[in-house]
Amino acid sequence: MKIAVVGLGYWGPNLVRNFQALPDVKRVMGIDKDETRLVKAKQRFPDLETSACLDDALRDDDVVAVALATPVSSHYPLGKKVLESGKHLWVEKPFTAKVSEAESLIELAERKGLKIIVDHTFIYTGAVRKMKEIVDSGELGEVYYFDSVRVNLGLFQHDVNVVWDLAPHDLSIMDHLLRERPKSVSAVGSCHVGNDLENVAYLTVFFENNLIAHFHVNWLAPVKIRKILIGGSKSMIVFDDMENSEKVKIYDKGVEVKTKEGVYEMLVQYRTGDMRSPKLDQTEALSIATAHFLDCVKHNKRPITDGISGLNVVRILEAAEKSIKQNGKEIKLHYHD
Amino acid sequence: MKIAVVGLGYWGPNLVRNFQALPDVKRVMGIDKDETRLVKAKQRFPDLETSACLDDALRDDDVVAVALATPVSSHYPLGKKVLESGKHLWVEKPFTAKVSEAESLIELAERKGLKIIVDHTFIYTGAVRKMKEIVDSGELGEVYYFDSVRVNLGLFQHDVNVVWDLAPHDLSIMDHLLRERPKSVSAVGSCHVGNDLENVAYLTVFFENNLIAHFHVNWLAPVKIRKILIGGSKSMIVFDDMENSEKVKIYDKGVEVKTKEGVYEMLVQYRTGDMRSPKLDQTEALSIATAHFLDCVKHNKRPITDGISGLNVVRILEAAEKSIKQNGKEIKLHYHD
Amino acid sequence: MKIAVVGLGYWGPNLVRNFQALPDVKRVMGIDKDETRLVKAKQRFPDLETSACLDDALRDDDVVAVALATPVSSHYPLGKKVLESGKHLWVEKPFTAKVSEAESLIELAERKGLKIIVDHTFIYTGAVRKMKEIVDSGELGEVYYFDSVRVNLGLFQHDVNVVWDLAPHDLSIMDHLLRERPKSVSAVGSCHVGNDLENVAYLTVFFENNLIAHFHVNWLAPVKIRKILIGGSKSMIVFDDMENSEKVKIYDKGVEVKTKEGVYEMLVQYRTGDMRSPKLDQTEALSIATAHFLDCVKHNKRPITDGISGLNVVRILEAAEKSIKQNGKEIKLHYHD
Amino acid sequence: MKIAVVGLGYWGPNLVRNFQALPDVKRVMGIDKDETRLVKAKQRFPDLETSACLDDALRDDDVVAVALATPVSSHYPLGKKVLESGKHLWVEKPFTAKVSEAESLIELAERKGLKIIVDHTFIYTGAVRKMKEIVDSGELGEVYYFDSVRVNLGLFQHDVNVVWDLAPHDLSIMDHLLRERPKSVSAVGSCHVGNDLENVAYLTVFFENNLIAHFHVNWLAPVKIRKILIGGSKSMIVFDDMENSEKVKIYDKGVEVKTKEGVYEMLVQYRTGDMRSPKLDQTEALSIATAHFLDCVKHNKRPITDGISGLNVVRILEAAEKSIKQNGKEIKLHYHD
């Protein structure tokens, strides 16, 4: 079977490399309007079939799936074509530029009996898979908050702000780990350089039962920070992606309320036990994701990061954008079910 | 001359120790309704004069100033008595529980020609004094953002939430370093333990010219983080108070916008030069603050952390509390001038 | 019962404070030739009995034990007097300046049925007690090496070199954890400032079965490092005393030899599992040590850090000094049994 | 002009890639007895000329230089053939297995007017080039010591011990930075796994004027440490190669001797000023080294890491091996001039 990869800029070649490595994949086709990119890709991947036109892939019966590594604005129109031509769809994050677009692609795929996978790559890393294990085990007790920081001196996207660029990583991790339905969003941000796109932003996501999630994304930080804190009643997780090893630490820290000096204050009795840092699988996340996608296609399974999880992220991004324009005004999230 | 310290719980004794160490101070009087605290204080400070009643201090002509180390709710009524009796006033942070209270104490002190100092101790640390030097030198260029994180597994106050407990430290540092007038505040928070007081909260403060400040305070974090990032157009500061040494780092990182791959993206060209970590004065902040207070009293100078700076912090705290109740709604700040 | 503390310079007052805190101790007597030190001690400890003369303590029948916080050169003559007068002996580290002195004090104490405890304070810290547990459990498998680094920009002693000043800490930890008898010592060092005393030195201690221990001590390092690595066949320990928390980490890292690329190289297959950092007891080590000493005195038990463990350290120090003078020549260690 | 690379195992392909990238290099020839390696290399480098026999390269007049990426034992016999055939010589570190071999290759190259470069890659990193600048500027004052640690859980070489495997990196850095002639060596080590090759070792190198250098190399450490401390009278350097950024830090820490408490102790008055971490050039060290080699060949310059610097390292390695067998006995170093 054959896979087509559309967009051979920065990320596309990684998809080509990983799809080529899969035993089930006979051939990979690379598609890009930019001729020079096609040449470069051909040099790096001699076996790569190339074309400037998506239709060549859609007409090709051997092509079972098409991967879109193109700007988010193109995800809906191209994704629609892909699904209508009866091919399974791989889409880079974020899934789409609008909730409505995500919903119609999901609806279309269901009608056609096709799979959609959104490339929330982090979900397939050893670190997140280990955290998922821990959260699902109930070891954290009641989850109180999810706090994420993703900042560095980084690329400025021309077409999306820092929220659409960086937050999808952490929003998808939150959605995957907590599996809770958010009620509303409050977000703020600011723009300091060139265009009108925010380069620093802070998102808050509200849930039932006082569960709260917060995200700090920044393209203009002097140091690189990639850190997630998850606080629970029984224990807490720190995920520091900048650590060479020991990226995930689980703190056996529980909270017990106790009064001290009579009425004057309550003391959070931290029942602190050991900390442990579990060994993490080092397999490249993208190779796991690509293999998982083919497995879902072949055996008609639902991808872990399917259209719904892509939609969950876009729903928050869209609300965050509205909220930022109103300096933090709470925006309710709507669900059609 | 004599100084009276009201409230001999956790912080009061530090004030006694530092005031006693000042050459100008003949005597220190310790005041607390709690007899056992008076006895404990007497043991530790044999020379300490003690009394259960503030009036003893107010009646004493040798007493030139009174320091309040009592719960915030008492700052206004006690502060009013102190000023009316013609004594200078030292108040622990936060200055007062309400903006109106702060305003009337400031007005009263001015009418009486008395000094108010709010104990924003951090302002007197070697680290903040050094950062003030750097910011005032213009080395940062245009300041873009101020980002603060102050989290750990800590004491729960019975009478105030985490915002009133922890944020004053960072708000006072921001006010001192930026000397800008905030326009509005958006804040969110959540309460997970016992009472109805938020134990985690996020504050955003909006200024003119897209300057934005953000504060993360949390009583339920598994690790202790005390970090401030200040981003400027020419260089940036990282203040990590958990570092044993090298608490302040200045990154010669400037931002230049450059387009990459034609229209597809802009690259923040980080003109990165050296980093430096300046030597910091190790003198105890409180000893500098107490000496500064007496100096202002003797030579009729305006304290660095005077009533106005105390009010600036309370104004934000009050607005933050309103905003939290409305899940992030922007609250405008008002100024009477 | 009464305890006498001789030498009220830097460390003596800590002994006074901890002995006074013990319920069994009725009174503490402070002894120093230096009048000003006696006055200072009296101010800090109003209940302290003071004297300029050790004999006052030795004549006092209530005095059951005498603690020497005096320069190492005085440990033998003073210790001898103390034991001859029938009092139990507490000695600061290092035990004595010579092996022969240590041996004769041990012999004297045994003849008199008296206890000697050497103040290897580190042995009583939560970190070392936890490491002892782990090593004794056999979790490390066969112990391969013990590597210690203790460097910073520090005090220069006038009377001893950096080996006698810093190495006793780590040598006592090694002796306590490994409980192996060293065969020989090789050491090197150098002197850069003022006097003829080495300010940087490296010690190697050889054992049976290829077990090797190494110690780096330095008074002239720009950064403070306090780190111990213990390598075993099944797992390994890292003790970093500069960490605020997580001082002890146990790495489930085993060694399996496997050949790679045929004859060309062997790969140490690191069977790496989780890392864990156990919770450590925070009690002040010196309070545990003083209580342990009294317990041994009262119930005729052998102190954990008795004369023998003090002698084990002095034996290595003496050999190291010989070896340094010969640029690393191996010096055999002798035992009288 | 053409370059031949002998040995296409782990490191050889890096040489091929970097030589191919040089404009002056028309062609690169890859040589290996192992057919499969030749095939693999050909796949990765389509333009690569390949051969199983070195003589093909030596007979080829276009080949101006031959690079040996073969086991150290082969460096002498192959290097001799290369030089005798009139080609310039690139050798991987360590230069040779014996001092005598190094000396005769140097002598041969001089007689033939050919260049030898030893691939002490670290010398060409941005970090070491920056440290060289600093040391040469005299900023450190008198250099007191050089302390290096290079440990991790790593590859076991089948043919050399950890000293020959890891120490050449740090010995070459020391030789390059200090440019002092060592007097003697003392070394110790131990072997814990499989073969008789030491997997942990400690080297000391003695110089005039109390300058001392020490090296800790270990294949069996639970954590990866790559750290060099250089102590001087005026300032000190810490090079931590595990840092993502800020690998080199210069501490403005000087030493002034001052007596404290009269005769009782001297205090190292640390005149501590700022710390700075200079920006480092990120260019791949090997690309700089290969370009430097060709530049030396074309313009008849002396390579920075020429045969002499290779010999300086081998001289210490050979002495260290002798010393290890005698548990640290000092081995004098001999120079033929």
Q: Examine the domain organization and report whether A91 and A158 are in the same domain.
A: no
Range of the domain at D249: 123-280+315-332
Query: A296-317, pLDDT tens digit by residue?
Result: 999 999 999 999 999 999 999 9
pLDDT band at D253 (very low <50, low <70, confident <90, very high): confident
Query: D205-252, pLDDT tens digit by residue?
Result: 999 999 999 999 999 999 999 999 999 999 999 999 999 889 999 999
pLDDT over 80 (residue C37): yes
Please name the residues in contact with A335: beta carbons below 8 A apart, sequence gap of 6 or more.
Answer: A181
8 A C-beta contact, residue C91 and residue C310? yes
Strands C88-92 and C63-68, sheet pairing: parallel
Q: Look up tokens 């004999």; give the residue.
A: C55
pLDDT of residue C266: 56
| Chains contacting C (3+ CB pairs below 8 angstroms) | A, B, D
Q: Examine the domain organization and report whether B328 and B290 are in the same domain.
A: no
C330 touches chain D (CB under 8 A): yes
Query: B114-161, pLDDT tens digit by residue?
Result: 999 999 999 999 999 999 999 999 999 999 999 999 999 877 777 889
Share of chain D above pLDDT 70, in %: 96
A270 touches chain B (CB under 8 A): yes
Q: Which two tokens stand for residue A180?
A: 């809770």
- R_g of chain C, CA atoms, integer Å: 21
Helix ranges, C160-229 (H): 162-178
pLDDT band at B255 (very low <50, low <70, confident <90, very high): confident
Query: B277-322, pLDDT tens digit by residue?
Result: 999 999 999 999 999 999 999 999 999 999 999 999 999 999 999 9
Three-class secondary structure assignment of chain B = CEEEEECCCCCHHHHHHHHHCCCCCCEEEEECCCHHHHHHHHHHCCCCEEECCHHHHHHCCCEEEEEECCCHHHHHHHHHHHHHCCCEEEEECCCCCCHHHHHHHHHHHHHHCCCEEEECHHHHCHHHHHHHHHHHCCCCCCEEEEEEEEEEECCEECCCCHHHHHHHHHHHHHHHHHCCCCCEEEEEEECCCCCCCCCEEEEEEECCCCCEEEEEEECEEEEEEEEEEEEECCCEEEEECCCCCCCEEEEEEEEEEEEECCCCEEEEEEEEEEEEECCCCCCCHHHHHHHHHHHHHHHCCCCCCEHHHHHHHHHHHHHHHHHHHCCCCCEECCCCC
| Chains contacting A (3+ CB pairs below 8 angstroms) | B, C, D
Q: CATH no. for residue D147? A: 3.30.360.10
C152 contact residues in D (CB cutoff 8 A): none
pLDDT of residue B81: 98
pLDDT over 60 (residue D265): no
pLDDT of residue D266: 56
- Residues D242, A242: C-beta atoms closer than 8 Å: no
Q: Examine the domain organization and report whether B89 and B219 are in the same domain.
A: no
What sign for the dihedral angle of Cα A294, A297, A300, A305? positive
Residue B40 lies in a domain: yes
D195 contact residues in C (CB cutoff 8 A): 266
Residue D337 lies in a domain: no
Q: Examine the domain organization and report whether C299 and C244 are in the same domain.
A: no
Residue B38 phi/psi, 5-degree rounding, is -60, -40
pLDDT over 90 (residue A37): yes
Helix (H, G, I), strand (E, B) or coil at D84: helix
Share of chain A above pLDDT 90, in %: 87
Alpha carbon of C326 to those of C185, C321, D182, D214, D223: distances in Å? 12, 9, 17, 16, 33
Helix ranges, chain D (H): 12-20, 35-44, 54-59, 75-84, 99-112, 126-136, 162-178, 285-299, 307-325
D276 contact residues in B (CB cutoff 8 A): 274-277
B45 touches chain A (CB under 8 A): no
Residue D219 phi/psi, 5-degree rounding, is -90, -5
Best of A225, A244, A246, A247 to disrupt the D interface by mutation (most D CBs within 10 Å)?
A244
Residue B257 phi/psi, 5-degree rounding, is -90, 135
CA distance D277 to B146: 23
Name the residue facing D219 among C186, C264, C268 (closest C-beta): C268
pLDDT of residue A267: 61
Residue C308 lies in a domain: no
pTM assigned to the model: 0.93
- Residues C192, D233: C-beta atoms closer than 8 Å: yes
In the predicted model, what is the mean pLDDT of chain D?
Answer: 94
CA distance C109 to C65: 12
Q: Examine the domain organization and report whether B271 and B137 are in the same domain.
A: yes
pLDDT of residue C261: 59
- Residues B276, D272: C-beta atoms closer than 8 Å: no
CA distance D329 to D264: 35
- Residues D192, C210: C-beta atoms closer than 8 Å: yes
DSSP category for residue D306: B
B191 contact residues in A (CB cutoff 8 A): 210
Q: Examine the domain organization and report whether A191 and A272 are in the same domain.
A: yes
Name the residue facing C277 among A245, A275, A278 (closest C-beta): A275
CA distance B309 to B123: 11
Best of B206, B208, B268 to disrupt the A interface by mutation (most A CBs within 10 Å)?
B268
Q: Examine the domain organization and report whether C144 and C290 are in the same domain.
A: no
B277 contact residues in D (CB cutoff 8 A): 274-277
Query: C150-176, pLDDT tens digit by residue?
Result: 999 877 777 889 999 999 999 999 999
In the predicted model, what is the mean pLDDT of chain B?
Answer: 94
Query: C6-27, pLDDT tens digit by residue?
Result: 999 999 999 999 999 999 999 9
What average pLDDT score do residues D160-171 get? 96
pLDDT over 60 (residue A287): yes
The one-letter amino acid code at B189 reads G
B300 touches chain C (CB under 8 A): no
Residue A309 lies in a domain: no
- R_g of chain D, CA atoms, integer Å: 21
Best of A245, A249, A275, A280 to disrupt the C interface by mutation (most C CBs within 10 Å)?
A275
Residue D165 lies in a domain: yes
| Chains contacting B (3+ CB pairs below 8 angstroms) | A, C, D
A275 contact residues in C (CB cutoff 8 A): 246, 276-277
Name the residue facing C276 among A245, A272, A274 (closest C-beta): A274
Smallest CA–CA distance, residue A8 to chain B, in Å, is 13
C260 touches chain A (CB under 8 A): no
Smallest CA–CA distance, residue A119 to chain D, in Å, is 27
Give the Cβ contact number of residue B14 at 10 Å.
17
CA distance B274 to D188: 39
Q: Examine the domain organization and report whether D85 and D189 are in the same domain.
A: no
CA distance B108 to D297: 84
- Residues B328, A204: C-beta atoms closer than 8 Å: yes
Of the candidate ranges A21-30, B82-91, C4-13, C186-195, the one whose mean pLDDT is the lowest: C186-195
pLDDT of residue A316: 98
C301 touches chain B (CB under 8 A): no
pLDDT of residue A260: 59
- Name the closest residue on chain C to residue B245, using Cα atoms: C223
pLDDT band at A109 (very low <50, low <70, confident <90, very high): very high
A198 contact residues in B (CB cutoff 8 A): none
Please name the residues in contact with B184: beta carbons below 8 A apart, sequence gap of 6 or more.
Answer: A327, B205, B206, B319, B330, B331, B332, B333
* Domain total of chain C: 2
pLDDT over 70 (residue A261): no
Residue A40 phi/psi, 5-degree rounding, is -60, -45
- How much is the ipTM here? 0.94
Angle A188-A192-A193 from CA coordinates, rounded to 5°: 135
Q: Which two tokens stand for residue D256?
A: 């002034």
Q: Examine the domain organization and report whether B40 and B155 are in the same domain.
A: no
DSSP-assigned letters across all residues of D29-56: EEE-S-HHHHHHHHHH-TT-EEES-HHH
What average pLDDT score do residues A273-289 get? 96
CA distance B325 to C100: 76
Smallest CA–CA distance, residue A329 to chain C, in Å, is 40
| Chains contacting D (3+ CB pairs below 8 angstroms) | A, B, C
B244 contact residues in C (CB cutoff 8 A): 224, 242
Query: D113-156, pLDDT tens digit by residue?
Result: 999 999 999 999 999 999 999 999 999 999 999 999 999 987 77
pLDDT of residue A262: 55
Angle D312-D316-D319 from CA coordinates, rounded to 5°: 140
Of the candidate ranges B63-72, B257-266, D228-237, the one whose mean pLDDT is the lowest: B257-266
In the predicted model, what is the mean pLDDT of chain A?
Answer: 94
CA distance B47 to B29: 9
Give the Cβ contact number of residue C314 at 10 Å.
27
Q: Examine the domain organization and report whether B197 and B50 are in the same domain.
A: no
pLDDT of residue D86: 98
Smallest CA–CA distance, residue A243 to chain D, in Å, is 10
pLDDT band at D272 (very low <50, low <70, confident <90, very high): confident
What average pLDDT score do residues B15-36 get? 96
Q: Which two tokens stand for residue A335?
A: 């669900």
Query: D53-85, pLDDT tens digit by residue?
Result: 999 999 999 999 999 999 999 999 999 999 999
CA distance B316 to B323: 10
pLDDT band at B196 (very low <50, low <70, confident <90, very high): confident
Q: Give bridge partners of residue B247 from the DSSP assignment.
A: none
- Residues B191, A210: C-beta atoms closer than 8 Å: yes
Query: D36-55, pLDDT tens digit by residue?
Result: 999 999 888 988 999 999 99
A263 or A62, higher pLDDT: A62
**Cα atoms in the Cβ-side hemisphere of radius 13 Å centred on D134:** 27
Q: Examine the domain organization and report whether D75 and D160 are in the same domain.
A: no
pLDDT over 60 (residue D1): yes
D272 touches chain B (CB under 8 A): yes
Residue D233 lies in a domain: yes
DSSP category for residue D121: G
Interface of D with C in 124-183 (CB under 8 A): 142, 144-145, 147, 149, 151, 153-158
Residue B337 lies in a domain: no
pLDDT band at B11 (very low <50, low <70, confident <90, very high): very high
pLDDT band at C260 (very low <50, low <70, confident <90, very high): low
Query: B73-121, pLDDT tens digit by residue?
Result: 999 999 999 999 999 999 999 999 999 999 999 999 999 999 999 999 9
What sign for the dihedral angle of Cα D110, D112, D115, D118? negative
pLDDT over 80 (residue D162): yes
pLDDT band at B272 (very low <50, low <70, confident <90, very high): confident
D246 touches chain B (CB under 8 A): yes
B327 touches chain D (CB under 8 A): no
CA distance A25 to C228: 51
DSSP-assigned letters across all residues of D230-243: EEESS-EEEEETT-
Q: Examine the domain organization and report whether D164 and D89 are in the same domain.
A: no
Residue C337 lies in a domain: no
* Contact pairs from chain A to chain D, CB under 8 Å: 4
A224 contact residues in D (CB cutoff 8 A): 244
Name the residue facing C158 among D222, D263, D272 (closest C-beta): D263
Q: CATH no. for residue C296? A: 3.40.50.720
Strands C331-332 and C184-190, sheet pairing: antiparallel
